[in-house]
Each structure stands twice: as C-alpha cells, then as structure tokens.
Amino acid sequence: MSHNAFITEETIEGDDDGPLSGKTVAVKDNISTEGVRTTCGSEMLDDYVPPYDATVVARLADAGATVAGKANMDEFGMGTTTETSAFGPTENPVSEGRVPGGSSGGSAAAVAAGETDLALGTDTGGSIRCPAAFCGVVGIKPTYGLVSRYGLIAYANSLEQIGPIAPTVAEAAELLDVIAGPDDHDATTREEGADSNYAAAADGDVEGLTIGVPTELVEGADEGVVEQFEAALDDLESQGATVEKVSLPSVEHAVEAYYVIAMSEASSNLARYDGVRYGHSGGFEGNWNETFAKAREEAFGDEVKRRVLLGTYALSAGYHDKYYKKAQDARAWVKQDFDAAFEDVDVLASPTMPTPPFPMGESLDDPLKMYLADANTVPVNLANLPAISVPAGETDGLPVGAQFIGPKFDEETVVRVGSALE
C-alpha cells in the first residue's frame, strides 16, 4: 500500500455478525495473531508466527470485525516516528514527506488514508496519541488494566495498553467497548469500567464540566499548536464547560523518569531474544555468549540496541538506586500531582504533541530531540490514566491534536469531551 502502513496484508475474517460486522481493523504488528506473522517491526521476529490470538484479536473476531492486516510500527514500539521499523518507514498520508508519528504509525496512517475502517495501536508513552495527532485522526489510550495485554509482545509492561484509533470519537469508543473488560489471561485487568458504555458517552455534552489546563504542558509547545489548542478550549467553553489553569510541577521530570523505566523494562523483556529460545539465529558459533551476541547484533536495530544498553546500565548494581529507583520516585510524584488536580477538575487538557509532524529523516540522528517530543504524553502512562487525542485544526496545513486526560477508569468523560470538540 502506498504509505507503507502494513507489514503483512493477510486478512483474518471475523464471525458472521456482531457490533463490528462489515468493519475492517488494522492490528499493530506487536499484537499476536494466530497463524499470521507478527514481527514487532523487527528482523528479530521476521518469521515469527504466533500459536495463539491476543485477547483483543479474539474479541474483534467475536464482534464480527475483519483484521485488515498487520500495521507497521517502530521496532518493538521504540520511537515516535515509525522510522525505526525494519520494514521501512511509513509516510504520513495527510502531510506528504512527514512522519505519521509513532510508534503505531502504520495503524494511524491506514485509518487516515482510508485503507481500514479502524485500527488497534499500543501506547507505552504516547504511541497511540502521537500518530493519531500527526495523522488527523482519533486515538484513545485506556486506563492501565482496562484492556487485556494477553498476546501483546511486551516493550514496557508497567506502562503500556492496547487502544483504538479511528476517524471519529464515536467509532473509537465503539471499538473500545469491544476490546475493554477483564480477562482471566491477564491478571492486571480490572472489573472497573466493565459496565461502561463508551459509544453512548460520545454525546458531546460538556455542560457544567470543569477542564483543567496544566500550564507545564502548554509552555513548551509551538506557537501554531498553542493557537489551535486555545481555539479548541474556547469552543468547549462556548458549549458550557469551564476552563481553568492548573499546575503539575512534577511533569518536568516525566520524560527522564519515563525513559529510565521504559528502557529498564525493555532490557529485561528483550533478554528472551537470544536466537535459541526466540528470534533470529545467527548460527551457532563459539560459546553461548558469542552465539547470543551474534543473533542480537545482527537482528536488533540501533534504537533497540541503545535502549537495551541504557536500560541494562540503569538496572545494574550500583546504579539501580541512582537511576531506576529515583525514576520510580518521580513516577509516584507524577501520580500524586494528577490525583491532586482531579480533586478540582473533571478532565485535563493539553496539546497532544508540542509540534506538528516533523519531516521524515529529521529525528533519526537526534534521539534526545525525539524523546523530548513525548513530554505531553508520557506523564499519562506514568500515572496509568486514560487519555484521548482528537483533531484540533491545522497549523501551516499540518494536523494538530488536542489531548484530554481523565481520572482512572473514567474513559466516558474523556470520550464525552473529545466528542464535544469534534
């Protein structure tokens, strides 16, 4: 397909009828599909064919949806642009020459280009919301524990959730209704939210709601992005919401804390790819260490190697307290700040991304710049909260997204505010 949104175009038919019958859903390629290759955008898993379906894939089939193919992504979800995929970058279908965002860039691009009705992405630090914002579509990152991660190939377990990407808030909410709810295969799933009706919450009624705007999440954004974001707030005020400024002082440490935790978990999760039990084999040569090293040297890309090295360093004896434990302390502080804010407001709002989509090729040589682009999305994962990204106009012809963050398991409010803006 023209924008390279799919790694594998094999489709999987769902049951005859159900709430999503006749709908196609692109599935990010880190979500297991029985009998259909699942690569995580990595040469390491180039020929991996899962023996079972992820719970979300089984729920799609029960709901009558057809899997439209496996969507391109940054390798193992590590990136903000979908340029670190071993299968080549995905191009933004609405902004030529620009990245679609990442890491679920294939999912968002496929929806924006009309190559699928709906898509599933995963969000560890923004990977649903960023590509939704960059491609001018809607993405929801659910509360940690709302959606089963059974069959999701792990990047950073304590941070990530599977969630919907769709052209409209109502369609994203409908897909969330299908995939949400407790699962015996994932002990981190919860009963909370099980009787919610997200599709019904897309009613646009924000009369009487209080929207808090954390100043720290607006300050660093481009002028053109802030203009669109403020116009969105005016729109919501005109519909009866109250907007007030709030402060989340801890978020200034969120990017650092996120990257230490995400890389530490990644270094541990990716240890299983040794070419013997899992993944690409470079052949048996020398001792075990040499054999493992050869497989990993050959099949992991640069960004994955960088993170495994940094994560291993942060967890090693002598540095554990200095980096990993400190990052966990910062994470606890971020959670407290959000809890305090939600005592006064119903929902929080910010630009999803501080900039419009960047030109392709620009960020590969500058990982730090790429990490800083996650400033507004990673605090939400550290605090395990739900958030939505909704299109909020354009700056210089490039899409801008507005993000709404809710208290735990209050996806309904997040959906309601998103639909009002839409």
Which positions lie near ligand GLN, rule CB under 6 A?
A: 77-80, 103, 123-127, 155, 262, 374
| 103 carries an active-site annotation | yes
CB nearer ligand GLN, residue 163 or residue 275: 163
Helix axes 302-315, 254-269, angle to 10 degrees: 100
Instruction: Region of 151 please: left (phi>0), alpha (psi -120 to 50) or beta.
Output: left
CB 150 to ligand GLN: min, Å? 18
CB nearer ligand GLN, residue 276 or residue 372: 372
Helix axes 411-421, 169-179, angle to 10 degrees: 160
CB nearer ligand GLN, residue 93 or residue 125: 125
Helix, strand, coil content of the chain in percent (nearest 5): 35, 15, 45
Query: What Rg do the C-alpha atoms of the chain give, in angstroms?
Result: 20
The single-letter code of the amino acid at 58 is A
Please state, in angstroms and rounded to a whole number, the distance separating the CA atoms of residues 388 and 365. Answer: 30
Q: Which of 42, 103, 104, 196 is catalytic?
A: 103
**Cβ-proximal residue to ligand GLN, closest one:** 127
Cα dihedral 34, 37, 42, 47 sign: positive
| 389 carries an active-site annotation | no
| 369 carries an active-site annotation | no
Please state, in angstroms and rounded to a whole number, the distance separating the CA atoms of residues 146 and 155. Answer: 18
CB 28 to ligand GLN: min, Å? 10
CB nearer ligand GLN, residue 374 or residue 412: 374
CB 175 to ligand GLN: min, Å? 18
CB nearer ligand GLN, residue 79 or residue 401: 79
CB 313 to ligand GLN: min, Å? 17
Q: How many residues does the chain have?
A: 422
Burial 11-50 (b: 16+ CB within 10 A, else e): ebebeeebebeebbbbbbbbbbbbebbbbbbbbbbeebeb
CB nearer ligand GLN, residue 64 or residue 79: 79
CB 124 to ligand GLN: min, Å? 3
Please state, in angstroms and rounded to a whole number, the distance separating the CA atoms of residues 308 and 86. Answer: 17
CB 76 to ligand GLN: min, Å? 8
**DSSP single-letter state for residue 321:** I
CB nearer ligand GLN, residue 152 or residue 414: 152
Q: Which of 28, 70, 141, 408 is catalytic?
A: 28
Q: Which of 107, 127, 267, 419 is catalytic?
A: 127
Please state, in angstroms and rounded to a whole number, the distance separating the CA atoms of residues 86 and 389. Answer: 27
Decide if 232 contacts 421 (C-beta within 8 A): yes
CB 316 to ligand GLN: min, Å? 21
Q: Where are the beta strands (DSSP E) in 5-155?
A: 6-8, 24-28, 66-71, 118-123, 138-141
Catalytic residues: 28, 103, 127
